[in-house]
């Protein structure tokens, strides 16, 4: 019973986000896809290579980021939470078609959180304004129907915990 309540509650959040009059248009859909795209695996790796070549990150940070990617794969395949758009019991539309099977946690949001942390550490003058990056990416994933709100919040928390833990933050 509890699981049904949680699923219905999160389904209703997704449906509300997708059907809000202000957001339910082609411009917003294309914007959400554009926001989400750089945090797919291949484009994200390309961004990391560019950051490495520009000496914005070092090889130890690259290894840590790859470690985080492995954690995402392990968690997704262990927890195996069905994506909201794959749940036949709701009316959530799937707007992103190049996805794997499972939703928890959001890899895109974790990647955005890691990138925001790196930018904050490398360029402290940016300040806490960079926190908007994982929030926007997470929102785009919910809007696109491929994640629940708890998937993106968990990914942000996981990213922050991994990045700020003693053995990661010293690099």
Which are the catalytic amino acids?
Answer: 108, 147
d(CA 111, CA 40): 8
- Residues 113 and 160: beta-carbon distance below 8 Å: yes
Name the residue among 21, 34, 9, 3 with its Cα closest to residue 144: 34
Per-residue tokens: 39: 């945090």
Give the three-state DSSP class for 95: coil
3-state secondary structure of 98: coil
Q: Count of CB atoms within 10 A of residue 144's CB?
A: 26
């Amino acid at each position: 019973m509890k699981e049904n309540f949680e699923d219905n509650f999160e389904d209703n959040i997704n449906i509300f986000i997708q059907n809000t009059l202000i957001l339910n248009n082609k411009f917003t859909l294309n914007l959400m896809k554009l926001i989400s795209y750089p945090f797919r695996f291949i484009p994200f790796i390309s961004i990391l290579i560019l950051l490495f070549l520009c000496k914005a990150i070092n090889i130890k940070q690259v290894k840590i980021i790859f470690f985080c990617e492995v954690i995402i794969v392990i968690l997704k395949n262990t927890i195996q939470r069905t994506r909201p758009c794959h749940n036949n019991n709701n009316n959530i539309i799937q707007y992103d078609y190049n996805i794997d099977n499972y939703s928890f946690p959001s890899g895109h949001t974790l990647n955005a959180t890691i990138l925001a942390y790196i930018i904050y550490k490398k360029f402290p003058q940016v300040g806490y304004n960079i926190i908007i990056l994982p929030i926007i990416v997470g929102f785009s994933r919910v809007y696109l129907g491929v994640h629940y709100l708890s998937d993106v919040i968990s990914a942000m928390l996981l990213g922050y915990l991994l990045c700020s833990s003693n053995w990661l933050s010293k690099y």
